[in-house]
Amino acid sequence: IPEYFELEGGDRMPRIGFGTWQASDEVLEKAVEAALEAGYRHFDTARAYENEPALGRALNRWIAGDAARRKQLFVTTKLPPGGNRPESVQEYFDASLRDLNLEYIDLYLIHTPFAFQHVPGDLHPKNPDGSMKVDHSTNLLELWKTVLKLKESGRVRHVGVSNLNAEQLSRVCSVARPACLQVEVHALCQQPALAAAARELGVPIVAYSPLGSKALADSLSAKTGREYPDLLQLPAVVRIAQAHGRTPAQVLLRHTLQRGLAAIPKSTNPTRIKQNISVWDFVLSESDMRELAALDRGENGRICDFSFFGGVQDHPEFPFKK
């Protein structure tokens, strides 16, 4: 199976990328160094993660002013929900470019279809009751048209979307096909219908939380009491891993790749960082794939349902039905 997605103009997106959510600056810079060393060239961040300066520092140390090295990298960042209106896009894009300290971004995504109000200096504006200051007036197609225009500057090579459902994806495709759809996909939340719809529309999927995002699951669990199974300990995953002499994480990533998706696992540990990109030299059998497919719990398997953003569930573009 190919190690890259071919994008418009012949650009290549490596199908294993490095996720950067929820790491402190210092830890992240070390992790990115380890990832570059291990061979990662695709890095995924977002304005909302508030780590663009740290990622930019680590990448720029590696680039060392060499344009040929910059070209080897594939860097993604995202328009935060607080920028989801046409007149805010340029300002947030410029800020990302400045903080990453790059000449251009490879891929710029609309992070979520719902929106926060624009509050300068506050990417997560809250009401006194703790709910988010939601902007209900979002026009997703006008927003998408504005994001598409960013390409004209040459400062972004590709644009895409994240956290859209199939209906929203098909709507944005009526204007122009996004370079990718980034959504939560893993063994417990496999999204077969969305994957089929995206395939039909010709939109490649990038799977976030491919290992089940333990940090997010733990923090949600602490708040709501809901239990999230550890993907790495699922008996089927452990058994298949043992049969191949691989780790559970490698089996989960290989499953995602063999389904035709890209994945952006996150780790801050050099051994695990290396492990997660060493998934090109073994093959899951059809029966392994069938057994892994049976782990899907549909909507019940979703971790990142944005329940941590009180109030966005009422937004007209909120993507996930309860």
The single-letter code of the amino acid at 251 is V
Q: Shortest Cβ distance from residue 273 to ligand A2P (Å)?
A: 7
Q: Shortest Cβ distance from residue 14 to ligand A2P (Å)?
A: 15
Contact call for residue 19 and ligand A2P (CB under 6 A): yes
User: What are residue 75's DSSP bridge partners?
Assistant: 43
The one segment of 62-70, 128-136, 171-179, 207-215 that binds ligand A2P by CB under 6 A: 207-215
Whether 110 contacts 144, CB under 8 Å: yes
Contact call for residue 272 and ligand A2P (CB under 6 A): yes
Contacting residues for 157 by C-beta, under 8 A, at least 6 apart: 7, 9, 11, 104, 105, 106, 107, 151
Whether 111 contacts 77, CB under 8 Å: no
Contacting residues for 110 by C-beta, under 8 A, at least 6 apart: 78, 79, 84, 143, 144, 147, 160, 161, 162
Contact string 213-232 vs ligand A2P (x = CB under 6 A) = xxx----------------x
Q: Dump the DSSP string for 155-168.
A: SEEEEEEES--HHH
Is there a catalytic annotation at residue 49?
yes
Containing H/E element for 292? helix 286-293
Contact call for residue 274 and ligand A2P (CB under 6 A): no
Q: Shortest Cβ distance from residue 274 to ligand A2P (Å)?
A: 9
Q: Shortest Cβ distance from residue 201 to ligand A2P (Å)?
A: 25
Contact call for residue 276 and ligand A2P (CB under 6 A): yes
From the list 40, 49, 108, 208, the catalytic residue is 49
The one segment of 95-103, 123-131, 153-161, 259-267 that binds ligand A2P by CB under 6 A: 259-267
Give contact residues for ligand A2P (rule: CB under 6 A): 19, 209-215, 232, 247, 249, 265-269, 272, 275-276
